[in-house]
Amino acid sequence: MTRAPCDVKIIVFNSHRCYVEFYDMEKRFNTLIIGSGIAGLSCALRLAQHGSVAIITKRQLGDTSTQFAQGGIAAVMDAHDSIGDHVHDTLAAGDGLCHEDIVQQVVTEGPEMIRQLISWGVTFTKNPTGSLSLTMEGGHGAKRILHAGDSTGKEIERALIAACRAHPSIQLFEYHSAIDLIPSRKCLPRTPVNRCLGAYVLSAETSEVDSFVADATVLATGGAGKVYLYTTNPDVATGDGIAMAYRAGASVANLEFVQFHPTCLYHPYAKSFLISEAVRGEGGHLKLISGERFMFNYDPRGELATRDIVARAIDAELKKTGQDHVLLDISHKPAAFIRERFPTIYQKCLEFGIDITTSPIPVVPAAHYFCGGVVTDAQARTDLPGLYACGEVACTGLHGANRLASNSLLEAVTFAARAAATIAEETESHCIAVPQWNAEGTRHSDEEVVIKQNWDEVRHTMWNYVGIVRSNKRLERAKKRIDLLREEIREYYWNFTITADLIELRNIALVADLVIQSALARKESRGLHYTIDYPEKDEALRKDTVFFNGRTKAK
């Protein structure tokens, strides 16, 4: 189908003038936000006063990792705590790779971010005196975790979704999957500056692909836990933002640092249910099946060690004992306290016949959080002009080699604010004719089983060979298999009509490949990356692992 131009305008890229045609059949906005977690929604609310905002999300607005965040959000809100202490704890968890300037800035802005969330309608749990209830989590030296019971993310999503639905400048597009970003060189091959113009988006309702064109595009797509067989993440966490940004020419970094949450409920019918870090923060004990506590054999902080240490300790004990799981026991605490503090966890475990007030919880580690992602600067800009990233999809320098518990929501809302401020101040309207999505030569597939088979193979390969403990041999084996799978997926992608499942499969395969390459490039053990071939840290490798168009580069 051809389109008639409705106007001809001039655009200038670094003093180079280009005549371009503007078509009236595209969806055009001042800002396009891909993702509807805390990062995407809070960014939209800040930008809505400056122009039109579109939020696209693959499922419903609430189907995000934010929705499942139990523990809380870290910020210095108590007179007995300090910014310096929070900075110290973050740097210690990051194992030498945090960017100290970013840590200082994010932690300092934390209290203001909390006040902003409250102004949007988020209700945090309070003490009987009316003060905010603060709790402890692993790696923190003070109580600084704000929470809404044990379903903090659900409360944040509720408030932000309500605020976005009520705002006239925000348009919401549920069940819309971004396929690829649109770089300007796709439209104007000789333009001296490549910039992001928006994204091609598949509508689940119409099965049509539309061009969502915007002056600024924000990736807030979350992480990639579904790259692994076992994960605490929801089904939408397929690394879409990382894959799209990399294909468009943006840099990605530190993808070898995948955080495995130590405590995921172990039950054949419990689909990736997380047992919050806060259970250990409130005094829960990790035990072997025999009832013996073991964490003090690995770290003087015991159960309050950072997640990388706790996950490796559990992994080691499972390998040593041959057991399928360990136990997390908080039954020594008063039953009323447990039911009040952890109502969601209590009810969910009860559904599976586990009364946590009287019995321990069977748990295992599971893939949880990507500390790496799309490289940004301090203002959430990527190195592809016009493209910004915030939340788990981004690599900002805050987390380093290991994220400190409950710093994720803090990072997301802080960098969303920075992205919004930068976009409002710097972005100018760009008017470039974007080519239509071309599906010519493709056909509907009658072999959807191929997608499921490849999906399962990617996730099994990553779990078996690129997990908590790694080796060169395992990584090289994984690389060979993922290379073959990516070639199969590439052939399938170009021959068959696009579907949401195919989009996700293509993305998890690329992210899997980038994780493996990153792990092979880091020939040391640091933070979340542990390899038996290089068990010690190497200070010469105290730098980010950055990939750009298939090449590594120092950062």
- The least confident of 252-256, 305-309, 413-417, 422-426 is 305-309
Among 65-74, 218-227, 540-549, the range with the most confident prediction by mean pLDDT is: 218-227
Which residues carry out catalysis?
307
Q: Average the pLDDT over 375-395 and give the result.
A: 98
Query: Are 308 and 213 in a shared domain?
Result: no
**Predicted confidence (pLDDT) at residue 513 exceeds the cutoff of 90:** yes
Q: Could you tell me if 188 and 209 lie in one domain?
A: yes
Is 432 inside a domain boundary? no
Rg (CA), the chain: 23
Distances (CA, A) of 140 to 151, 172, 277: 20, 37, 11
Same domain, 38 and 164: yes
453 bridge partner residues: none
Distance CA 533, CA 289 (A): 30
Count the helices and strands in the chain (H runs, E runs): 14, 21
- Confidence class of residue 416 from pLDDT cuts 50, 70 and 90? very high
**Cα separations in angstroms, 99 against 102, 319, 471:** 5, 35, 27
Kindly tell me if the per-residue pLDDT of 119 is higher than 50: yes
Give residue 467's identity as a one-letter amino acid code: G
Mean pLDDT of the chain: 91
At residue 319 the predicted structure's pLDDT band, cuts being 50, 70 and 90, is confident
Amino acid at 169: S
Same domain, 244 and 329: no
Query: Cα(373)–Cα(221) distance, rounded to whole angstroms?
Result: 11
Task: Give me the mean pLDDT over the 62-77 stretch.
Answer: 93
Which pLDDT does position 63 carry in this prediction?
Answer: 93
Domain count along the chain: 3
Of 277, 273, 271, 319, the closest CA to residue 294 belongs to 319
Taking residues 89-99, report their average pLDDT. Answer: 97
Domain holding 324: CATH number?
3.90.700.10
**CATH of residue 175:** 3.50.50.60
Mean pLDDT of the 292-319 span = 92
Based on the domain organization, do 242 and 313 belong to the same domain?
no
The answer to whether the beta carbons of residues 59 and 174 sit under 8 Å apart is yes
> 201 and 239, same structural domain?
yes
For residue 89, pLDDT beyond 60: yes
Q: 268 versus 215: which is more confidently predicted?
A: 215
Domain for residue 125, yes or no?
A: no
Residue with tokens 């979350």: 222
Residue range 52-70: mean pLDDT, rounded? 94
Length of the chain: 555
Contacts of 509 (CB under 8 A, 6+ apart): 454, 458, 482, 485, 486, 489
Are 171 and 320 members of one domain?
Answer: no
Over the stretch 169-182, which tens digit does the pLDDT of each residue have?
999 999 999 999 99
Residue 181 parent element (H or E): strand 176-183
Across 69-73, 187-191, 246-250, 298-302, least confident range: 187-191
Confidence label for 370 from pLDDT (cuts 50, 70 and 90) = very high
468 and 339 part of one domain? no
Q: Are the C-beta atoms of residues 398 and 413 closer than 8 Å to each other? A: no
**Region of poorest pLDDT, from 103-107, 219-223, 276-280, 334-338:** 276-280
Average pLDDT estimate for 97-121: 98
Residue 387: how many other CB atoms lie within 10 Å: 28
CA distance 224 to 233: 8
| Shared-domain flag, residues 348 and 490 | no
86 pLDDT more than 90? yes
Asked whether residue 139 is domain-assigned, the answer is no
pLDDT tens digits, 238-260:
999 999 999 999 999 999 999 99
How much is the pLDDT for 427? Answer: 78
Q: What CATH number is attached to the domain comprising 523?
A: 1.20.58.100
More confident residue, 405 or 193: 405
Q: Are 279 and 352 in a shared domain? A: yes
Instruction: Compute the average pLDDT of residues 157-178.
Output: 97
Confidence class for position 550, pLDDT limits 50, 70, 90 = low
User: Binning pLDDT at 50, 70 and 90, where does residue 554 land?
Assistant: very low
| Per-residue pLDDT at 99 exceeds 50 | yes
Q: What is the mean pLDDT of residues 258-283?
A: 89
Task: Name the amino acid, one letter, at 190.
Answer: R
SS3 156: helix
Q: Round to whole Å and give the CA distance between 13 and 537.
A: 45
Residue 553 confidence (pLDDT): 56
- 3-state DSSP of 1-67: CCCCEEEEEEEEECCEEEEEEEECCCEEEEEEEECCCHHHHHHHHHHHHHCCEEEEECCCCCCCCHH
Top-confidence residue, 105 or 13: 105
Q: Do 454 and 529 belong to one domain?
A: yes
Check if the beta carbon of residue 53 is closer than 8 Å to that of residue 44. Answer: yes
The per-residue pLDDT for range 2-28, each reduced to its tens digit, is: 233 333 333 333 333 333 344 444 789
Question: Is residue 398 assigned to a domain?
Answer: no
- Percent of the chain topping pLDDT 90: 79
Please check the confidence at residue 354 and state whether its pLDDT lies above 50.
yes
Instruction: Give the domain-ending residue among 297, 331, 366.
Output: 366
Residue 370 burial class via C-beta count within 10 angstroms: exposed 0-12, middle 13-18, buried 19 and up: buried
Residues 197 and 285 both lie in one domain: no
Identify the domain containing residue 297 by its residue range: 263-366
Mean pLDDT of 476-484: 97
480 or 306, greater pLDDT: 480
Q: Is residue 149 part of a domain?
A: no
Q: Is residue 118 part of a domain?
A: no
The helix or strand, by DSSP H or E, that contains position 216, with its residue range, turns out to be strand 209-219
Instruction: Read off the DSSP letter of residue 388.
Output: E
Of 268 and 462, more confident: 462
Looking at the domain assignment, is residue 50 inside a domain?
yes
Is residue 147 a part of any domain in this protein?
no
User: In the block, which residue shows the tokens 């030569």?
Assistant: 441
pLDDT of residue 152: 95
pLDDT bracket for residue 431 (50, 70, 90): low
What does the pLDDT read at residue 549? 75
State the CB neighbour count (10 A cutoff) for residue 396.
27
Tokens 């689940």 sit at which residue?
204
Q: Which two tokens stand for residue 260?
A: 């495995």
22 burial via Cβ count (<10 Å: 0-12, 13-18, 19+): middle
pTM attached to this predicted model: 0.89
